[in-house]
Amino acid sequence: MSTSKEYKPKKIALAYSGGLDTSFCVAYYTREIGAEVHAAFCDTGGFSRDDIKELEQRALAFGAKSFIALDGKQAVVDQVVRHLIAGNVRRGATYPMCVAAERAIQAKLVIEHALKIGADAIAQGSTGAGNDQIRFEVAIRALAPDIVPLAPVRDLGLTREDEVTKLESWKLADKLPKNAKKEYSINRGLWGATIGGKETTTSDKPLPDHAYVLTTSPAKAPDSPQTVRLTFDAGIPVAIDGKKLGAVELIEKLEKMAGAHGVGRGMHLGDTIIGIKGRVAYEAPAAEVLLIAHRELEKLVLTRQQQRTKDSLAAAYGDMVHEGQFFDPAARNIEAFFDATQKVVSGDVDVELFKGVARVLGVSSPYSMMAASGARYGEKIAGYTPRDAAGFVAILGNSARITAVARKGGTK
């Protein structure tokens, strides 16, 4: 497969975010290569109409022949987020995978646009130091193997300073967004935001309060807690405090509610796809609340083996989403298992939001295994007799008894 160093594309579909890197890509391919560039912005949350209009104006100013905004919010929910909720998926047991949840859908929509317009190449603004280069290019190879993937910033070995210098030579630097040289790099979407800066290049420094964009500082959050009731239907969140909402609208509303109480902040330290350790700050107010609520509801309605099996598959699924393998057939197989378990994951969960913490207060479901047992833990038995219980304890402890005797040399 050719790279941007040796291949001379004629018609490019560019995954456009509007920042320095992708704006450079527009100018580079139109001015130095003479290619036709069609900018495709995929909105997966966090952007207003005015924001998107500004992106369009910038793309055209840098030389793009066309600009299109592709709405990917519902697709992210339907194809990725609902499975992350079903699997209670977190990276490193903390991070709800805000960015990775969206990249597969962004890549898919840009690829579909590229095929529609007859592009011979798809370009992206990734450098060689991150995960997104892999997510995009693996998606291209899986969904459009005949289209050439391009990543000029990476393949030409350019620094941000190199890009700015080149844009200045083309008299385009003044058209860059005002925050192109901002202190923090922010990726924002429906499932949350990630924030990178000088503190995340180390393993020991916390992110300062002013760097967060979605949440109130827990110290400055309201002094009174707020209780929210979430309703799930077959594993899908469908209502807040009894009001039915579409999934996208529900996530957006919950983000504001929980974010106002400082819920959802975190730092994730873990393994990158390229084999090094990486650290990023994140804000995921809605994801945090939905994941803890959903998990508690599952404890009430699923069997122990269902939960255990699902947890093991969730780890594999999270790896696939994170590592750019979302389009592997195995991901569809795992999703099918998730879907099968979610048929009874329906009910209400009350969650308290207070000073940066989301705490489950209670849960109810028509499929409650606790209610169906007829027993009360520590108080009342049902379905068996006291004699059955004594026999069960004797059998369960038999291995321990035999081990103790053997270790003392009781068989000599």
b vs e for 175-204, b when ≥16 Cβ sit within 10 Å of the residue's Cβ? Answer: ebeeebeeebebbbbbbbbbbbbebbeeee
Q: Which of 17, 57, 60 is nearest to 40 (CA)?
A: 17
Other beta carbons within 10 angstroms of residue 61's beta carbon come to 13
Write the CA distances from 171 to 1, 125, 151, 163, 164, integer angstroms: 33, 20, 23, 12, 10
Q: What is the pLDDT of residues 350-377, one digit of tens each?
A: 999 999 999 999 999 999 999 998 878 8
> What is the rounded CA–CA span in Å between residue 173 and residue 24?
9
* Cβ proximity of 3 and 150 under 8 Å: yes
Write the CA distances from 180 to 22, 43, 227, integer angstroms: 11, 19, 39
Q: What is the pLDDT of residues 81-112, one digit of tens each?
A: 999 999 999 999 999 999 888 999 999 999 99
What are the structural domains of the chain? 11-179 (3.40.50.620), 187-302+345-369 (3.90.1260.10), 375-407 (no CATH)
Sheet of 226-233, strands arranged across? 243-244, 236-240, 226-233, 347-354, 357-364
Please give the backbone phi and psi of residue 217, each rounded to the nearest 5 degrees, phi first: -60, 130
Q: What is the pLDDT of residues 315-355, one digit of tens each?
A: 999 999 999 999 999 999 999 999 999 999 999 999 999 99
CA dihedral 327, 330, 332, 334 (to 10 degrees): -140
How far, rounded to the nearest angstrom, does the alpha carbon of residue 200 sit from its chain's CA centroid? 19
b vs e for 336-373, b when ≥16 Cβ sit within 10 Å of the residue's Cβ? Answer: ebbeebbebbbbbbbbebbbbebebeebebeeeeeeee
* Cβ proximity of 325 and 138 under 8 Å: yes
Q: Which of 189, 223, 163 is nearest to 23 (CA)?
A: 163
Q: Which of 41, 70, 45, 43 is nearest to 285 (CA)?
A: 45
Question: Tens place of pLDDT for every residue, the chain, 412 residues?
Answer: 444 456 789 999 999 999 999 999 999 999 999 999 999 999 999 899 999 999 999 999 999 999 999 999 999 999 999 999 999 999 999 999 998 889 999 999 999 999 999 999 999 999 888 899 999 999 999 999 999 999 999 999 999 899 999 999 999 999 887 766 678 888 999 999 999 999 999 999 999 999 999 999 999 999 999 999 999 999 999 999 999 999 999 999 999 999 999 999 999 999 999 899 999 999 999 999 999 999 999 999 999 999 999 999 999 999 999 999 999 999 999 999 999 999 999 999 999 999 999 999 999 999 999 999 887 887 888 888 889 889 999 999 999 999 999 998 866 6
Q: Which of 226, 233, 301 is nearest to 261 (CA)?
A: 226
